[in-house]
Amino acid sequence: MTPPRQEDGAPKRTRPRGRRGRRDALRPPSWWAAWAVSLAAPAPLILLLNTQLLAPTRDLILYDCGVAAYTWWLVSVALSTRPRALDRRIGLPALYQLHGGLGVLALLLASAHVLNLFTMHPIIYWSGRVAWYLAIFGAVYAALFMSGWLVDRLPLAAAVKRRLGRFLTHEASVWIHRLNFVMIGLVVLHVHVIPRVSAATGFVIAVDLYTLAALAVYLWGKLIAPAAPSRQGTVIANTALNDTTRQVVIAPAAGATAYEPGDFCFVTFHTPGLPAQAHPFSVTFAPEYARASAAAGSPTTASPAPLVLTIRGAGDFTSQLSRLPVGADVALEGPFGRFNRVIAAEDRPLVLLGMGTGIAPLVGLAQAYAASRRVMVLHSVSRPEDLYYDDVLSSLARHNPTFRYNHHRHRYTRADLAALLDADLLAHGRFVVVGPAPAVLAMRHTLRALGVPARHLLDERLTM
């Protein structure tokens, strides 16, 4: 049945947006579990404190606020190591959301603690105060410069970030964010110097154990695990696809974790002349296609499939990649991503919508599902030279009767999509949208307006 049309030729919305749409959003049970476990993490410490310390109820509640805030900061530290098992269950954006959400909740409770308790003891006072100031600075800084939440929605915040971006690079921001460790040290000092609290020995030991556990997870995730031989690789090809975009092929070392179509990795090139920074890039080809296209560099099908990356020169680091030599050492973190997991678990037709370089993870998904599903690939580009995977996608369309491929100069409008997508795709399709964050947000809005349920939409925003 054709959906009713509006004057602009687009079908009318078939379901209301707003609260109902938000409830539809994809929230796997693991998402609720991750939040529940994180929120409950302070409970043992609070229990110990409340049973070991005699104080008026009001004061105990305010102490508990401080304990909860501190524990959530520790959980945030552990989450900053991007645990892969959690990423596969809830996705990296949701993991960062949890990291940031706990940070904000912690700041609120810490504020209640600091503003309502009083001490004349200078060390207790200043350790608490400075930790609190650092927490406020850290939260404001992260909201402006590290999370896309404000920047993707507010042009003013985006302009401020762009202006300061020359000095405050992503790497500088990561180092500034590490001031949180100074804050953690100050809180530990704070707890140890309050005589009544330090007398509650069980509680103080438990706080120290929590702190050590979080630091151990962090050191393992950031220093020890990355050095594992199975996380290394070698560049086996680096070719220009056009004047702004390159294809870099990496052969991972034996024992590397196999990636799935649509995944992404954090990649660090270790070669003179290039900064050793970890940047996220999607894996373009599905593993078997990557093996076939790099057959010369991958002698047996038993070795891990090469990673074919499509990298646009977007800034300081990516625009230097023409200098990346074949044979350069690479450190890989990942693979991350949930596209393939979600798609494999259901039997929906696929609509893969890539904007610019956003096509990168979608090519692999198209290859993986071309023969078994109804698939429509839509690629919007600002100039024809950016259709670098035109031959790959056209070939899939020629060989698979239920595969459609369309490309478009500039972003698809609502009317374009209404003409391309039939009622079955709009109502039942699994939509995967990838591109720059503001474009993805706008496209989600357009698709929702066309009646696509929020729970059928997956996206990846190429900023972090």
Ligand X SMILES: Cc1cc2nc3c(=O)[nH]c(=O)nc-3n(C[C@H](O)[C@H](O)[C@H](O)COP(=O)(O)OP(=O)(O)OC[C@H]3O[C@@H](n4cnc5c(N)ncnc54)[C@H](O)[C@@H]3O)c2cc1C
List of residues contacting ligand X (CB under 6 A): 169-170, 264, 277-282, 310-312, 314-318, 357, 360, 460, 462-464
- Which positions ≥6 away from 376 have C-beta within 8 Å? 349, 350, 351, 352, 403, 404, 405, 406, 420, 421, 425, 429
Q: How far is the CB of 362 from ligand X (least distance, A)?
A: 10
Of 172 and 415, nearer to ligand X (C-beta) is: 172
Handedness of CA 257, 260, 264, 267 (dihedral sign): positive
Residue 55 or residue 314: which is nearer to ligand X going by CB?
Answer: 314
Q: Is 302 exposed, middle or buried (0-12, 13-18, 19+ CB in 10 A)?
A: exposed
Furthest CA-CA distance within the chain: 78
Nearest Cα neighbor of 408 from 454, 359, 371 is: 359
Q: How far is the CB of 287 from ligand X (least distance, A)?
A: 16
Q: How far is the CB of 207 from ligand X (least distance, A)?
A: 32
Helix (H, G, I), strand (E, B) or coil at 387: coil
Q: Which is nearer to ligand X, 203 or 269 (CB)?
A: 269
- Taking the least distance from each CB to ligand X, the nearer of 55 and 176 is 176
Task: Report the residue closest to ligand X, judged by CB.
Answer: 315
| Complex with ligand X: residue 310 or 340, whichever CB lies closer | 310
Residues facing residue 239 across a β-bridge:
247
Three-point CA angle 184, 187, 44, nearest 5°: 90
Instruction: Please say which residue, 264 or 388, places its beta carbon nearer to ligand X.
Output: 264
User: Measured from the CB of residue 291, what is the shortest distance to ligand X in angstroms?
Assistant: 19
Pick the closer one to ligand X by CB: 426 or 462.
462
327 alpha carbon, distance to own chain's centre: 29
Task: Note whether 246 and 238 are within 8 A (CB).
Answer: yes
Which of 133, 112, 10 lies closest to 63, judged by CA? 112
Residue 159: CB minimum distance to ligand X, A: 13
Nearer to ligand X, 392 or 426 (CB): 392
Measured CA to CA, the distance from residue 284 to residue 163 in angstroms comes to: 32
Is 414:334 a contact under the CB 8 Å cutoff? no
CB of 324 to ligand X, least distance (A): 13
Distance of closest approach, residue 317 Cβ to ligand X, in angstroms? 3
| Sequence-distant (≥ 6) Cβ neighbours of residue 359 within 8 angstroms | 310, 379, 389, 434
The nearest distance, CB 434 to ligand X, in angstroms, is: 8
Closest approach of Cβ 356 to ligand X, in Å?
Answer: 9
Which CB sits closer to ligand X, 304 or 364? 364
CB contact at 8 A, 68 and 76: no
353 contacts 434 by C-beta, under 8 angstroms: yes
| E strands present in 274-391 | 279-282, 307-312, 329-336, 350-355, 375-381
